Amino acid sequence: MVRSEMWDAQTARSYDTPGTGMFAPEVLGPTVDRLAELAEGGRVLEFAVGTGRVAVPLAERGVAVSGIELSEPMLHQLRTKADETAIPVVVGDMATAQVPGEFQLVYLVYNTISNLLTQAEQVACFRNAARHLAPGGRFVVELWVPELRKLPPGQQAVVWESTADYIGLDTYDVLHQQVVSHHFRFDAGTGRQALLSRSPHRYIWPAELDLMAELAGMTLECRHADWTGQEFTAESRSHVSVYRKTTAR
């Protein structure tokens, strides 16, 4: 399955969950707060802007936000919230698509860089971010830490969330650094399985991200466990990494 097929019309229609999940105030609020701070009043570009989960509240703060989005159905959902004047979007691949002008901040949230399934594509994404940044500008990546320590010998799957109406598990191919996320959703009334969806990813270690940044002319400025600035440790399940452009390209 190619990425444009994964983010189809059905997925786009069900993507937004106002007030819950990734749209919960305690999740979205700190994200928008931190990005607005890092923008420092300059122009901002979101790779894989999607339905505008982050871009819309950021624009409402007065930040000049543009986007790149591969999926036209996702962009259609965004357009129900903000028009082209409010949030200009270029349709294309975040690893290659170009947006006019320079930006103070480029960001990529909620594990989305892992949707690029090869190392070459991920390196190209970093280079594309650097291409859009003004000298001294920042690239922000939010990403999960691969949970390989939870895999006993001979086991390929890790359950990372289990509730009454949802089970999420990842199956790992450690030889090729690939993971497939499986999402089982159940009807709250009957307990029967209502939906199964899968999404492929290429997982990336923080040190590998840092090398990708170096290849693109950027260096790590800071890394925290979340958007509120909690310390990143060996036990952290995710990280927010901020890179600064060090060369003019």
CATH number where 65 lies: 3.40.50.150
Structurally, how many domains does the chain consist of?
Answer: 2
Do residues 89 and 172 both lie within one domain? Answer: no
Specify the pTM: 0.89
Residues 36, 107, single domain; the answer is yes
155 with 214, same domain: the answer is no
| Per-residue pLDDT, 163 | 84
- The pLDDT value recorded for residue 162 is 87
Closest-CA residue to 196 (of 206, 186, 205): 186
CB contact at 8 A, 114 and 201: yes
For 53-70, write each residue's pLDDT tens digit: 999 999 999 999 999 999
Contact yes or no for 142/106 (Cβ under 8 A): no
Whether residue 140 is found in the same domain as residue 171: no
pLDDT given for residue 249 in this prediction: 46
Whether residues 60 and 172 fall in one domain: no
- Clarify whether residues 174 and 212 are in a common domain: no
Same domain, 126 and 235: yes
In this prediction, residue 2 carries a pLDDT of 52
Residue 199's pLDDT is 87
184: CB partners within 8 A, 6+ apart: 166, 167, 168, 169, 193, 195, 196
Contact 51, 16 (CB under 8 A): yes
Q: Are residues 64 and 164 in the same domain?
A: no
Distance CA 33, CA 81 (A): 20
Q: Are residues 17 and 113 in the same domain?
A: yes
* Residues 179, 123 share a domain: no
Find the domain containing 136 and state its range. Answer: 3-145+205-245
Do 85 and 36 belong to one domain? yes
- Residue ranges in the chain assigned as alpha helix (H): 3-6, 9-15, 25-39, 55-60, 72-78, 119-132, 206-215
Residues 31, 116 within the same domain: yes
What per-residue confidence (pLDDT) applies to 6? 66
Kindly give the parts of the chain with pLDDT less than 50.
Answer: 1, 249
